[in-house]
Amino acid sequence: MGDPFDEEIDVPSCILDAPLPYSVETMLEKICNEQGQKPLGTGIRRRLSSIGEKGSLEMLNIISSRPIKKSLSAFLVYLIDRYPDCLSSSPFNSPLKRSSSPLLFPSPEGKHLQGESSSKSKLEMGFLACASPQKVARQLSFREEPESNCRRTSPNVSQQLMILNELEFRKLFLVLSYIGCKKLEDIVSPHIADDIVRKKNLSMTDFESEIWNAFGKAYYAESDRSKYLDWNCRKTHIYYCHIKQNGHCTFKGPYLNTARTHLQRALGDDNVLIVKFVEDTSCANIIVEEGILVGLRRYRFFVYKDDKEKKKSPAMMKTKTASLKCYFVRFESIETCNDGGSYVFSTKRISQARCQFMHVHMVSNMAKYAARLSLILSKTIKLQVNLASVTIERIEDILCRDENGCIIKDEDGEPRIHTDGTGFISEDLAMHCPKDFVKAEYIKDENYENFVDIVDLDAERRESVSWNREPPLLMQCRLFFNGCAVKGTFLVNRKIGLRKIHIRPSMVKVEIDPTISSIPTFDSLEIVAISHRPNKAYLSKNLISLLSYGGVQKEYFMELLGSALEETKQVYLRKRAALKVAINYREMDDDCLTARMISSGIPLNEPHLCARLSRLAKIERTKLRGGKLPISDSFYLMGTADPTGVLESNEVCVILDNGHISGRVLVYRNPGLHFGDVHVMKARYVEELADVVGDAKYGIFFSTKGPRSAATEIANGDFDGDMYWVSINRKVVDSYTTSRPWSRMHSTPKAVSKKPSEFSADELEYELFRQFLEAKSKGANMSVAADSWLAFMDRLLMLRDDNVDEMHSLKGKMLHLIDIYYDALDAPKSGKKVSIPHDLKANKFPHYMAKGNSLSYHSTSILGQIYDYVDTYPDEDLCITEISKLPCFEVEIPQTCMELWRGRYEEYKKDMTRAMNLGCELRITSCNEVINKYKKLLYGAVEFEQTVRKTEDIFDEALAIYHVTYDNARITYSIEKCGFAWKVAGSALCRIHTMYRKEKDFPILPSVLQEIH
């Protein structure tokens, strides 16, 4: 195709003064080229713009179907003066209705594909066929006939929409959502629209309530309602559009979320629309050509993301459709839209807009085009540094070499790399990472702690600052700068100087196009994850199978299981066991409330605490049944390459709290399936690392010597953020016998694909959207491969040496499946078409996989024994017959407090009932909003520690809440009703109980509790 931005060179001023939609510009260019016409002047372009994109395309299709006698401008003036009558009388009145045949787009060779329709799949023909544009633009508020009293300048925009355009976008979107499947003009009259606009200054909470009562109750599902108590909490606003097979679309939202992507951060929440295709759509062409209109804004297909490549655990491999998300981005607005001119993409073509994130057209194939572009959809935290002041240097990858120093290549002819996906970041920049990264995920950029720029300090003060904070050892990042896109990990490196980042070629996913390097880009350094103190480690079905195959005895796993089950019994009896399970599941608890109650001395038989512990014990037993066994002396750590070059090929360096560990270790990475994916390696102390990483902790370093990277040998991994299971557990390490590492035996053929730069602009959009629809329809090959592998492994473990021939046959199938599985993991980037031969698909599955009686057999392998043992283990769930109150809370409480909270409790029950009736996407968030509402009423803040109220008043009201709640629970014989008191007033009640015991309150961080439990 040549330079994708050649249209930007010497752009006529008339195009800048009177921009037209991309589809109109393309059609004009085609007509001018085919019929030798001059480009349109500013005046006629503005007149053409006034009739909108749809009318313009209809006129241009009339013109393209016949020879121009005078000039293109004269012909357009003639038609515009007679608009819309000229269209209704023309046999070519619409580009979408000009024949009874499906609308086809040109093939790369410029020929139509109509003659090939018989050989096309149903999906492809559904993509090529086109539905009526009125269906896709169902509630986009366009009318075929103008009204004489419309307050608008464009004859295609309804009066109602022009009136409602005075609302801020999220309020307009709410109106469009709450009318459901109805068309705006059928529900909202101009008079009603005026009434809505008069309420534009209401708070979002009150406005939502008004619109819900007016429209939502009648036309919108209660479960999808966007009801939030705090709309100004600075959370991300998410906007959805659902498209059905008939082309009708409905809007959902806006919804609030805590996560944010680079795309949303760069453009603004309201300029990103997440589109879900509820059914396979047959209106794909019209979607690509015309986009989706939301009010007066036009959103166009921009990028999609296949999250399945992130869900690498076979247990997580469900249906592919659930993991696909399609993102449309706002481009031009209708001329009458007041805010259209200032928006960054209002005059951009889609290819130009994408290049402001990265020069993605530089990649080698279309599969990578979609995969690399989707990097802007990672949920990240922006590192608060000015990239213009940062020196970004490129350093070479360390390649794998043989004993003669020759570079070793893989099956595809590419050099093997030891440093795949990992570079360096200077210590001062790493310190800009938020102290508590987990909490930072829920804070918008402008609320970050303003860290000191230590490069501006003198040497003495700089040393003081660097000692005050400890940088993370590793940061998994996305780096966007000057059109380049980088993905991988940055290791903190004190030796490279200040304000520096070193990247390697293996980290660069999209290169800079030097021909457009002067175009401004959205530059940013985004953090995905950091190395941190490892949580408690658990085994999985896959890992148990591989360890068992390698010689770890069944008795050891059953010993782990027995100890874990015994602990679930002790949670009701021993505070240590109770605190342990509470800390393990703290992410499921409100502010670590269960652990706080235990540490405050509240008895374990307290009704609410006992109920909470019972629930956690049940969750623990369910996980144990599925093979998630806790194991000591084992850790999950982020991996990287040794920067010192000291480690030998079978050595690693592991840094934990107390420094480096030494001795034999096992190393594994999910979702490894190969018998050799569990490596036995030697951990050693590397003195030279201190000069590089300082006191930074928590990671595993692999050697950069030898013919092959250990990361590649372990489940075809790399160092772009992969987590490695490391075990120093002597019972496991000493009994395990390693197998030969994985190497590919069966290769999936390379996909034949044109380069993105070889497509025209139109073809590229069609191809990208076709890829999305194709990916949406694919079967779950990874899930099938993983399930079949586990079924074969189960039979292999039961056979052992009983049947050598069958064992050999099973291993052959498994090795083939493993290669297919690893190819399927990389298929979103490689574009390979992965399929599973029928003879490699299991037809019987062990009972613990729950495939149904007709497909199941009873397994006696270690996984089958674990499953059965948990099922037969006696359930120690306690039956609480009386909901008793704590003696220390039986005190006199002001009657005014009791009456106040009786009323509020009744209100709470209604609020919580509404929240619980919402859909899954909203339920958790809405329930948290309800709890926060009543915490604010009690504390005057979200937390007790932030209160400005008198402590005595808070204690009186907390006790009132307690008694009101427990009295209600007694009447209804429902222990679950006790939860309100502790969720809302738990901090105050724990403080009261501590004071009753006449002990000093001794707060302790949950992370510290986790370390010492």
Q: Which residues on adjacent β-strands are paired with residue 845?
A: 856
Last residue of a domain, one of 97, 131, 147: 97
Query: What pLDDT is attached to residue 594?
Result: 87
Does one domain contain both 415 and 525? yes
Does one domain contain both 66 and 24? yes
> How far apart, in whole angstroms, are the C-alpha atoms of residue 391 and residue 381?
21
Angle, vertex CA 316, rays to CA 508 and CA 670, nearest 5: 55
> CA dist 836 to 111, 262, 820, 851, 980, Å?
34, 36, 7, 19, 52
pLDDT digits (tens, 9 = 90+) for 395-428: 999 999 988 889 999 887 889 999 999 999 999 9
User: Is residue 391 domain-resident?
Assistant: yes
pLDDT digits (tens, 9 = 90+) for 197-238: 999 999 999 999 999 999 999 999 888 888 887 888 778 999
Q: Which residues on adjacent β-strands are paired with residue 301?
A: 328
Confidence bin at 593 (pLDDT 50/70/90): confident
CA dihedral 569, 573, 576, 579 (to 10 degrees): 80
Domains identified in the chain, total number = 4
User: Is residue 118 domain-resident?
Assistant: no
Q: To which residue do tokens 């399927």 refer?
A: 824
Pairing of strands 484-493, 422-426: parallel
Exposure pattern of 277-303 as b/e (b: 16+ CB <10 Å)? beebbbbbbbbbbbbbbbbbbbbbbbb
**Residue 15: other Cβ atoms inside 10 A:** 16
pLDDT digits (tens, 9 = 90+) for 663-672: 999 999 999 9
Asked if the model's pLDDT at residue 88 lies above 70, the reply is no
Asked if the model's pLDDT at residue 485 lies above 70, the reply is yes
Does one domain contain both 389 and 513? yes
> CA dist 773 to 124, 134, 151, 368, 376, Å?
9, 22, 40, 16, 20
> How far apart, in whole angstroms, are the C-alpha atoms of residue 239 and residue 232?
16
pLDDT digits (tens, 9 = 90+) for 148-174: 222 333 446 788 999 999 999 999 999
Q: Specify the amino acid at residue 402.
A: D
Rg of the chain over Cα atoms, rounded to whole angstroms, equals: 32
> Which residues form the domain of 566?
549-623
Among candidates 704, 702, 691, 659, which has minimal Cα distance to 427?
691
The secondary structure of 306-343 as a DSSP string is EGGGT--SGGG---SGGGEEEEEEEEEE-TT-TTSTTS
Does one domain contain both 433 and 509? yes
The mean pLDDT of 614-640, rounded to a whole number, is 93
User: Is residue 129 domain-resident?
Assistant: no
User: Is residue 492 domain-resident?
Assistant: yes
Confidence bin at 335 (pLDDT 50/70/90): low
Asked if the model's pLDDT at residue 528 lies above 90, the reply is yes
End-to-end CA distance of the chain: 63
Query: What pLDDT is attached to residue 102?
Result: 26
Query: What pLDDT is attached to residue 127?
Result: 36
Does one domain contain both 477 and 553? no
Pairing of strands 484-493, 634-641: unpaired
**Looking at per-residue confidence, does 406 or 69 come out higher?**
406
Confidence bin at 596 (pLDDT 50/70/90): confident
Does one domain contain both 396 and 508? yes
Does one domain contain both 402 and 523? yes
Mean of the per-residue pLDDT values for the chain? 82
User: Is residue 64 domain-resident?
Assistant: yes
> CA dist 363 to 6, 277, 373, 758, Å?
18, 28, 10, 11
Asked if the model's pLDDT at residue 73 lies above 80, the reply is yes
Query: What pLDDT is attached to residue 18?
Result: 67
Does one domain contain both 440 and 567? no
Which are the contacts of 333, defined by CB distance < 8 A and separation ≥ 6? 296, 297, 298, 339, 340, 343, 346
Last residue of a domain, one of 77, 97, 117: 97
Last residue of a domain, one of 71, 97, 123: 97
User: Is residue 412 domain-resident?
Assistant: yes
The secondary structure of 599-615 as a DSSP string is HTT--TTSHHHHHHHHH
Exposure pattern of 675-711 as b/e (b: 16+ CB <10 Å)? bbbbbebebbebeebeebbbebbbbbbbbbbbeebbb
Among the listed ranges 321-335, 425-439, 761-775, which one has the minimum average pLDDT value? Answer: 321-335
User: Is residue 915 domain-resident?
Assistant: yes
Does one domain contain both 492 and 426? yes
Does one domain contain both 590 and 519? no
pLDDT digits (tens, 9 = 90+) for 535-570: 889 999 999 999 999 999 999 999 999 999 998 888
Does one domain contain both 898 and 969? yes
User: Is residue 707 domain-resident?
Assistant: no
Q: How many CA atoms lie within 13 A of 383 on its CB side?
A: 31
Does one domain contain both 387 and 484? yes
pLDDT digits (tens, 9 = 90+) for 890-901: 999 999 999 999
**72-81 helix and 42-50 helix, angle to the nearest 10 degrees:** 30
Q: Which residues on adjacent β-strands are paired with residue 253?
A: none
